[in-house]
Amino acid sequence: MNKTALNTVKESEPCSDDLQIVRQVLTGDTPLFGHLVDRHKKRVYGIVSGMIDSQDEVDDLVQDIFIAAFKAIGRFRGDSKFSTWLHAIAVNTTLRHIQKMKRRRVFSLDNGGYQFLTGRDAWAHESAERGREIRIAVKSLPDKQRMVVVLHYFEGLSCPEIAETLGCSVGTVWSRLHYACKVLKVRLESGA
Amino acid sequence: MKCRRCRKLFIPCLEGALPEELSRRVEEHLSICPACAGEFEDIKEVSAALAGADCPAMDPLPDIRDRVMARIYQQPKMRNWRKALPAYSAAAAAMLLFAVILTTVNFREPQQLCQAPQKRAALEKASEQPLYPAKKPAPAGAKQADAEAPSLPAELNLKSLPALPKSIKGAVASLPAQKPSEPELASAKIAEQAEAARLQQYTQVPPGTGQQMPAAAPAIARDAYAECGNSSIAKEPAAPSFRGASKASAAKMKRGSDLPASRAELLNLINTCRDAGRKEDEYAAAERLTSLFTDEAAYWFARGQAAEKIDKKQDAVDSYRRAVELKLLQPDLDAAKARLIELGRQ
């Protein structure tokens, strides 16, 4: 693997478990990457499933995200937490996927969200029952605002963490949350 | 605090991320501004609803790890282009060098050959006299005229070749061992014709008979006389450029494992070795020449002379005898017979 990137990982930084695993993966211990998958799969699933309803799409996209992370792990400099770096990949990959699907016109706005394109929609049906209104309202938001809402309210990331993940300022995150809440207020009232 | 400024701080105020002083100023503004207070309540309500919403994330596949790792192992091994960069650079440099060499070899040599007429013109201008006058049609009684004076053979005058052979020979000698192009083949053929013409010429001139070379026939005829052994004429200083090129060419050939196979090159080598006193080399070249052109009486005569110089008397006798059998022309025929008689006495 890329030893240059390995050397760029700061030695003085307090070693987290993720960082140790990343170093070992960089030295060629590829199977250890499975531990990273285990550790972060729930959060990555949360990010992706907050934006996409189709279970099959989510499964494929999560795999794509981890593959992309493995390919790019040589460029991980260790400046931030591995989770933040991985979340950024997840966010960008998901937004790219959504844009691609929009171009293919597979979206349906009749219920303010996506069509369930494939099977395995039991989860979607169940979740729609529980938080149907909120979920539909969130799905009607613009992608960037929706991603911020998903990361903050559904995945529990703080605003500075979201800012680091998205590569923007904290003020931008506050602003997106503010406008998202204003829109959601209107949608929820109209839905009620 | 203005309303616009206050509304931007709703979210951090709800998150508790504002400093105490700023948070207090926001609360003061909300207490005096019903619009901002109403909006703040809306944001607070929605935020609470979102935070408490039962929107669980999708459960990960139980075998998601295995799937990911299987796809990783299925991926073709990623190439580290930084490691491969030196190899690619070296390959590119080698190809570039090869292309430059090919371009130089293929295009420089024809250019050199094309410059031959220019060099000849420069030599003529330097000597301030034409090497040979323009060719006039040979009269019917040309043979009689040839008997009276050592004029040049007809084909030599026709082609105006005197200056071409040496320059072309130098160009041919510098060519690498590759398939010659058409211009190169033509040039080599011309050079061989010139050498044959010179050989035929010197065999018609009686050595040591007091006949002088014509003033208008400088270098080429002098070389021809040298090749037939007329040392009195051959030792006259020739043009430096010609002589220097011949020596360099001879040395280059001598360094090689084999003698040249070209008639012109061999004659040139014999001439050079004779001038330099390299008897062994002269004999080797003559031997090579006779092995290639077995029916040329003049070459056998030259070999006999070279063999005598290194005390190979039997080979000299055989060579003179072979030259006589092949009807060597006068006056070399008499000379060969005289040498046979002399060697027979010894």
Chain A residues closer than 8 Å to B80 by CB:
2
| CB atoms B46 and A185 under 8 Å | yes
The domain of B10 spans: 3-46
What class has domain A3-191? mainly alpha
Chain A residues closer than 8 Å to B84 by CB:
none
| CB atoms B60 and A45 under 8 Å | yes
| Residue B183 reports pLDDT greater than 80 | no
Instruction: Count contacts between A and B (CB, < 8 Å).
Output: 118
Of A42, A70, A175, the CB nearest to B72: A70
CA–CA distances in Å: residue B234 to residues A77, B4, B85, B151, B203:
84, 112, 63, 17, 14
Closest CA to A33 of A44, A20, A50, A16: A20
Chain B residues closer than 8 Å to A185 by CB:
42-43, 45-46
The CA distance from B202 to B222, in Å, is 9
| CB atoms B57 and A45 under 8 Å | yes
Chain A residues closer than 8 Å to B77 by CB:
none
- What is the pLDDT, as a whole number, of residue A19? 86
| Residue A65 reports pLDDT greater than 90 | yes
Chain B residues closer than 8 Å to A162 by CB:
none
Task: Return the residue of A nearest to B49 by Cα.
Answer: A134
| Chain segment B305-332, per-residue pLDDT in tens | 888 888 888 888 888 888 888 878 777 8
- What is the pLDDT, as a whole number, of residue A188? 80
Specify the higher pLDDT residue, B82 or A139.
A139
Let me know if residue B144 belongs to a domain.
Answer: no
- What is the pLDDT, as a whole number, of residue A120? 44
Instruction: Give the lowest-confidence range in A99-103, A149-153, B130-134, B341-345.
Output: B130-134
pLDDT band per the 50, 70, 90 thresholds, residue B91: very high
The CA distance from B149 to B201, in Å, is 11
- What is the pLDDT, as a whole number, of residue B144? 46
- What is the pLDDT, as a whole number, of residue B266? 84
| CB atoms A37 and B64 under 8 Å | yes
**Chain B contact probe: residue of A185, A189, A190 with most B CBs at under 10 A:** A185
pLDDT band per the 50, 70, 90 thresholds, residue A119: very low
Judged by DSSP in three states, A121 sits in: coil
- What is the pLDDT, as a whole number, of residue A118? 41
| CB atoms A178 and B8 under 8 Å | yes
Amino acid found at B331: P
- What is the pLDDT, as a whole number, of residue A27? 85
Is B39 in the A-facing interface, judged by CB distances under 8 Å?
Answer: yes
- How crowded is residue B74: how many other Cβ atoms within 10 Å of its Cβ? 8
- What is the pLDDT, as a whole number, of residue B95? 93
Q: How many structural domains is chain B composed of?
A: 1
| Residue A104 reports pLDDT greater than 80 | no
Q: Would you say the pTM of this structure is higher than 0.80?
A: no
Chain B residues closer than 8 Å to A151 by CB:
none
DSSP chain A: --HHHHHHS-SSSPPPHHHHHHHHHHTT-GGGHHHHHHHHHHHHHHHHHHH---HHHHHHHHHHHHHHHHHTGGG--SSS-HHHHHHHHHHHHHHHHHHHHHHTT-EETTTTEE---SS--HHHHHHHHHHHHHHHHHHTS-HHHHHHHIIIIIS---HHHHHHHHTS-HHHHHHHHHHHHHHHHHHHHHH-
| Chain segment B112-155, per-residue pLDDT in tens | 544 555 555 665 555 555 444 444 454 544 444 444 444 444 44
- What is the pLDDT, as a whole number, of residue B242? 36
Name the percent of chain A lying above pLDDT 70. Answer: 76
- What is the pLDDT, as a whole number, of residue A172? 92
Let me know if residue B240 belongs to a domain.
Answer: no
Enumerate the domain spans of chain A: 3-191
- What is the pLDDT, as a whole number, of residue B155? 44
Let me know if residue B16 belongs to a domain.
Answer: yes
| Residue B246 reports pLDDT greater than 50 | no
| Chain segment A129-181, per-residue pLDDT in tens | 546 778 888 888 888 888 999 888 888 888 999 999 888 999 999 999 999 98
| CB atoms A153 and B47 under 8 Å | yes
Let me know if residue B81 belongs to a domain.
Answer: no
Let me know if residue B17 belongs to a domain.
Answer: yes
| Chain segment B146-172, per-residue pLDDT in tens | 444 444 444 444 444 444 445 444 554
Chain B residues closer than 8 Å to A171 by CB:
8
| CB atoms B43 and A178 under 8 Å | yes
| CB atoms A63 and B71 under 8 Å | yes
- What is the pLDDT, as a whole number, of residue A89? 92
Most confident of A11-15, B28-32, B276-280: B28-32
Task: Return the residue of A nearest to B74 by Cα.
Answer: A67
- What is the pLDDT, as a whole number, of residue B195? 62
Specify the higher pLDDT residue, A85 or B244.
A85
* B 80-139 → A contacts, CB under 8 A: 80, 82
| Residue A97 reports pLDDT greater than 70 | yes
| CB atoms B11 and A174 under 8 Å | yes
| CB atoms B65 and A41 under 8 Å | yes
| Residue B237 reports pLDDT greater than 50 | no
Asked whether the beta carbons of A25 and A1 are under 8 A apart, the reply is: yes
